[in-house]
Amino acid sequence: MSIALITFDFFGTVVDWRRGLREALAGNLTDEAFERVIDRQGELEQERFRSYAEIVAQSLREVVGFPQHRAEAGGRSIGDELDLDAVTAARIGGEAGKWPLFPDSAEALRRLRSIAPCAAITNSDLGHGAQVQAQLGFSLDGWICAEETRTYKPDPEMWRAASRRMRVPFSRDWWHVSAYADYDLAPARALGLTCVFVRRPHSRLGPNDLSVENLNELADLAAARQ
């Protein structure tokens, strides 16, 4: 398989969003609560369009936020109560691109960019792209995000927008990389892309052509195919 383009899910695959959210909440986030937060984000993404920053803020307030807001949201909260006001929740959402990268992400992406163009297909905002790329220390070849497309994965419009932006047709020469089946690997497989599954601590296994433990392993595999 040759490689014309490598696209990535970012939050959960390149960015450690569980650690980022936990640190933003001063450690007050269980694994169970994290799963509830991201599942609630997925529900909100299917409603009227709002920025990802807004969705992060709302999901946090509903799942782990203070009692009044939880009651208004139908009592979705679990775990310890947090006094999470709207301003704090909005700040956390706006700074999602500052959540820490997985240790292998920056060097592996640098290596992969020497093999093929690398772009994000991400349920996030343009501002998050600037924050993530500042952490990487270099620019990606594209940041295709929900704020621009006005839709969220798993909608295939995200990949169609990437195809237009990167000028690469759907084919096996386009590799899509993710730790998640539901948002990424299933729609990418339906579009005829080569699917790469990354085993992150909170990944969700799905259809894949390649499975790797981390992005450095992917860089090794990609380099060997050149």
Question: What CATH number was assigned to the domain covering residues 5-16+101-224?
Answer: 3.40.50.1000
pTM (two decimals): 0.91
On the question of pLDDT at 154 being above 70, the answer is yes
Domain ranges within the chain, ordered by starting residue? 5-16+101-224, 17-97
pLDDT in tens, 13-63: 999 999 999 999 999 899 999 999 999 999 999 999 999 999 999 999 999
pLDDT at 65: 81
**Which residue from 2, 20, 23, 1 is spatially nearest to 10, judged by alpha carbons?**
20
